[in-house]
Amino acid sequence: MTTHGKVELSTDRHEWQPTPLAEQVVIITTADEDGTPHVAVKSRVSVVSYGPPAYVFFACNAEFATAEYVRRSKQFVVNVPSKELVAVSWVIGCDPSGRGVERFDENGLTRIPGLAVDVPRIAECRAHIECELVETHPFGPDLAVFGKVVSVSVDRDLAEGETALRYRRLAPFFFLDMDWTAPLGAARRVEEPVPGPRHDLTIMVTADLPRAQAFYQQAFDWPLVVDEDRYVELGLPGGRGLGLCTREAFRDYTGEKARKPVQDKLSGVELYLRCDDLERTLSGLVAAGARELSALAPRDWGEEAAYFADPDGNVIVAARPLRPTDR
């Protein structure tokens, strides 16, 4: 049915696309009677009361292990992963058992003690909300779990610096529908003016357009969105683009010639890429024939990064934030 330009959707949440309500992804840790920890990914979570103390809730299938263990232990921890843990969260989320220490180990998750509860936090997550169970309520096949917040902790770099930067470091992400997720966008104060011009497109001059196009598509599998004789454009995640143009096209656009590339010399242009799957990105660069300039290593600005050069001498940096356990 269509009224006033609106289209009616089903009342079944499974069929919402796009979903009007994005759900923040969290990793819930619980424990059984003997203290064995368990882990599960949930997205139906929110603050019930600001407090003090604050109260939060999450929901899960009443038959899943998470519901069983939280009712037994009367405690749980809401661990907040950053977008770097999307893949890990998806793997865990597709297995509802939640049982056993091996679930942590096989997914590269490190257990650290809770500050106020006998349930572990996850070191790789950026924030942790420790709770004591208050009550549960059934809703059809699901169970809403309500908890009183007894401790909150975050990575040290989230407690320091400018607010927008701290939210960027937190980098939470949201479940949308089926296998779709989305990260948090840029944070800003309500009264701040609309930000200035966006950086939507980077264009680089190349001495060999087919070679450059083949390199970037093989390295990163970015889709081709513009394909012309003297210019191609690749679509990047988040709506940005990378353009590649011939020297002749650059001269026509600007009225001046671009500098000629010098064999085995760098151009002075650097693409800094933050990668959710860094290992895959590094493999793609090597397979495409990128020249390694500096191997993957921790950098003093809080990230680990590797440096490469493309066929035209442009520098490509593949990076990700250092995990708390690596700092």
Does 188 reside within a domain? no
Give the 3-state secondary structure of residue 119.
Answer: coil
- The answer to whether the beta carbons of residues 218 and 287 sit under 8 Å apart is yes
Q: Are residues 164 and 205 in the same domain?
A: no
Say whether both 159 and 229 belong to one domain: no
H helical segments located in 35-179: 65-73, 86-93, 102-105, 163-170
Query: What is the full DSSP assignment across 177-203?
Result: ETTEEEE------TTSPPPS----EEE
Q: From edge to edge, which strands make up the β-sheet containing 241-246?
A: 201-206, 241-246, 231-235, 224-227
CATH code of residue 284? 3.10.180.10
- Predicted confidence at residue 225, as pLDDT, reads 93
Same domain, residue pair 146 and 244: no
Contacts of 87 (CB under 8 A, 6+ apart): 276, 277
Number of domains the chain is built from: 2
Considering the domain architecture, whether residues 240 and 142 belong to the same structural domain is answered as: no
Say how far apart CA 127 and CA 170 lie, in whole Å. 8
Regarding whether 177 and 275 lie in a shared domain, the answer is no
With respect to residue 193, please indicate whether it lies within any of the assigned structural domains.
no
Say what the pLDDT of residue 219 is.
Answer: 95
- Classify residue 2: in a domain, yes or no: no
Give residue 306's pLDDT.
Answer: 96
Query: What is the tens place of the pLDDT at every residue in 252-270?
Result: 989 988 877 777 788 889 9
Domain that holds residue 131: 17-183
| 6 part of a folded domain | no
Q: Are 159 and 276 part of one and the same domain?
A: no
In a domain, 5, yes or no: no
Q: Is residue 189 part of a domain?
A: no
- Are residues 78 and 207 located together in one domain of the fold? no
pLDDT at 99: 61
- As given in the structure block, the two tokens for residue 72 are 């037994």
Where the chain has pLDDT below 70, the residues are 1-3, 96-100, 194-195, 323-327
Q: Is residue 163 part of a domain?
A: yes
pLDDT at res. 23: 95
Q: What is the reported pLDDT for 265?
A: 84
Range 208-217 contact pairs with CB under 8 angstroms and sequence separation of 24 or more:
208/311, 208/312, 209/244, 209/245, 209/246, 211/311, 212/244, 212/310, 212/311, 212/312, 213/244, 214/288, 215/288, 215/289, 215/290, 215/310, 215/311, 216/242, 216/244, 216/288, 216/310
DSSP conformational letter for 98: -
- Alpha-carbon distance of 289 to 215, in angstroms, equals 8
Query: What percent of the chain clears pLDDT 70, i.e. is strictly above it?
Result: 95
- The phi and psi torsions of 241 (rounded to 5 degrees) equal -140, 155
